[in-house]
Chains A and B, each alone.
Chain A
Amino acid sequence: MSTTPKRFALLPDEIAVKHLTSGILRGDERPPAAALDQASKELPDEARWETERVRDLLNEAMARFEEDAATAADAWLAPRLHSTLRITRREAAESGLWNHLALRVAPDYVRRRHLAKPTEKKPVPTINAKRFCGPFHTQAFARLWWAAELFRDGFDYRPVVTACKDQDVLNSILRFETVLHRPTAQAIISLISKGAVQGGREINALGKAVNSAGSTIAFEAIAPDSSPDPAPYHDWIAAGDEDFTPYDRLPDGPDDGRTYPDSVAALASLFERLFAEAPVRGREKDKEKEDEEGEGGSTTA
């Protein structure tokens, strides 16, 4: 652990990929520190680029959650990583930062979170290389940071916790262009949080229904959002030195405006209607079962 670099740096994709040997992907070896450091680009000398607090956060996550509690760990970590690593969207779009975090600062976390248990079919499991260096919705840390950024409602991180409690939100909904519209993201989360949509298949079906409706209906037109205001976000980054990210309770995010409740409600009711008509794998069977148990028949219009 003594080799953890003091500051974050940018590790280019092409270098990162070439160092991801099968030994590292099997979890047997650590990435070569010296070679990676030499190829990385330094970041400015600012306190927010120090790795210590992120490293501490990840240690805490590993201490709090058992290896098989991956989803709970994601839900705990996503808002706190966003709160600890204070960066702009512009900075978060630089994959070099995430490569550096995964290969140099916390390869042990990537291994623990993304190395599957051996099975009969795959006696020697490997980590998907995209967890180290990959698109924003797949890379081990980028996916959590972006989930927090796209699903928070202003300063309120609670929707992020709901979003990350289900791997299907992270694995499919996070990459949809439709959730870049904040009220759309909040409407989806509200349906999950009130239990109208449950489990992987239903969440996937909802995501698809929303996406396909989004190709002919502009959700922005029926559910306005406030214009983005980068000033509070900027202040929040500047305050990072003094702020302390709590581990037991949920931190507050940047106070840059919440979505309008009317907008979210309008979309939630639209999405609920779309979902009722959407094909869900296995839903027909469930319905029959419900009918047999005498509980069938939902009353949604």
Chain B
Amino acid sequence: MRRLVPYPVLAGEIALDITEVRLDGVPLDYRMVAPSKRTVALHRAEREKWGEARLSVRLRTPVEELRNGDWREVLPQVIAFERRTNTRDVVVLKERDGDSWVGEITVFADRHLGRVQIGGQITATVGGVPGRIIGGVDAPWTVDLQATTPTRENSIKVTWADFSDEANPHLHDYRQDPWYVETTGQEPLIYLNRKVEGLEEILKHARAPEREVREAIASEIAKDAWVTLFNDALFAAEIDEDERAEWPGGWREGVLKKLLPGAFPDLSPREALQEAVARCRSGEGGGDLQNRIRRSAALQARQYRNIGALIRSTRRASEETR
């Protein structure tokens, strides 16, 4: 999706490649760089202490368009950004072979903690205004410093726990529940209750006949989680003195941007935020809002497909036993 701006921007694709990663000077095993997932799994480097990871990057830009367009002082940059550590480092790239730009950006261990987004932008002087952003990288990379299993951007982390165990006092009140959605942390987390009989087996080791059941349970959990996260994020959105709703930042902003289009398909994300927040505050239209949220969460969790498959398979199974 491109934003509308009052000056010409690039229409062609801007692609970013990470061609090499050196961890404290030593090249990182290529298996930890996954171009298909656009991730660099630094946490798998098996080095507790490291100081810096230097990434060699290449930015490919639409050649013809850049040559013929009305842009001057074109400046491609690569950006390493992590909101949790309030760090945004920018490096200007140099032209190579006429169609791409190369350079190195360093991710410092002291300045990052979780997932660093490696993106890029191209700026130019347009109509006498310097520094205009005329294009951004369509698919940024993620450098993962912490995850134990590579998680895709925007997925919710899941962990198994015994809800009645002493180590989890915050789960005691929910010890009979199969799952619990934690929203207070830096990142949301779904706890699955090991003590609920059969849950672990079916979610982890479901065989063919049970697969539809697993998918249906998984999507029910996912939908429930999205609804919870959405509500949490909506309540976190504040209103400025002009009555305009503000994006809440962090994962909450990500959740809203993901689910608002499904809840209010006719509105832009910004308008949808305004509408949803206004309904929360005014105390009107709460039921309709919850229905919209549930629909959007169900789409996100692919619940329609998974429940459909479950119904079809149970029907088939009962026909067979008849």
Contacts and interface: CB of A to CB of B under 8 A. Distances in A.
Interface of A: 12-18, 35, 39, 88-90, 92-95, 133, 135-136, 146, 149-150, 175, 177, 180-181, 204, 215-222, 224-225, 227-228, 230, 233-234, 281
A136 B209 CA distance: 48
Given A14-B182, A89-B87, A204 B241 contact: yes
B131 A218 contact: yes
A18 B52 CA distance: 37
Interface residues of B, number: 42
Contacts of A90: 85, 109-113
Contacts, number: 102
Interface in B152-178: 169-170
A227 B111 CA distance: 13
Interface of B: 3, 5, 7, 51-52, 75, 77, 83-92, 106, 108-114, 121, 123, 129-133, 169-170, 182, 184-186, 240-241, 249-250
- Which of A12, A90, A175, A225 neighbours the largest number of chain B CB atoms within 10 Å of its CB? A90
A15 B86 contact: no
Q: Which 9 residue pairs across A and B have the least CB separation, nearest first? A: A222-B131, A221-B123, A221-B131, A88-B110, A180-B88, A220-B90, A89-B85, A93-B85, A93-B84
A14 B113 contact: no
Contact of B113 (A35, A39, A93): A93
B249 A175 contact: yes
Given A88-B111, A218-B133, A18 B170 contact: yes
B167 to A, nearest CB: 9
A17 B88 contact: no
A81 B241 CA distance: 31
Nearest to B186: A95
22 contacts: A14-B182, A15-B169, A17-B184, A18-B170, A39-B169, A89-B112, A90-B85, A93-B86, A93-B113, A135-B249, A149-B86, A150-B86, A175-B249, A180-B87, A204-B240, A217-B132, A218-B132, A221-B77, A221-B123, A221-B130, A228-B111, A230-B111
B110 A234 contact: yes
A102 B133 CA distance: 41
Nearest to B121: A218
A253 B274 CA distance: 42
A216 B110 CA distance: 30
- Which of A39, A92, A219, A230 neighbours the largest number of chain B CB atoms within 10 Å of its CB? A230
Given A88-B111, A90-B113, A217-B129, 16 more contacts: A12-B185, A14-B182, A14-B184, A16-B184, A18-B170, A90-B110, A90-B112, A94-B113, A95-B185, A135-B249, A175-B249, A177-B83, A180-B86, A215-B133, A221-B75, A228-B108
Contacts of A88: 110-111
Nearest to A179: B86
Contacts of B3: 215
Nearest to B191: A14
A13 B5 CA distance: 40
Contact of B85 (A35, A92, A224, A233): A92
A257 to B, nearest CB: 13
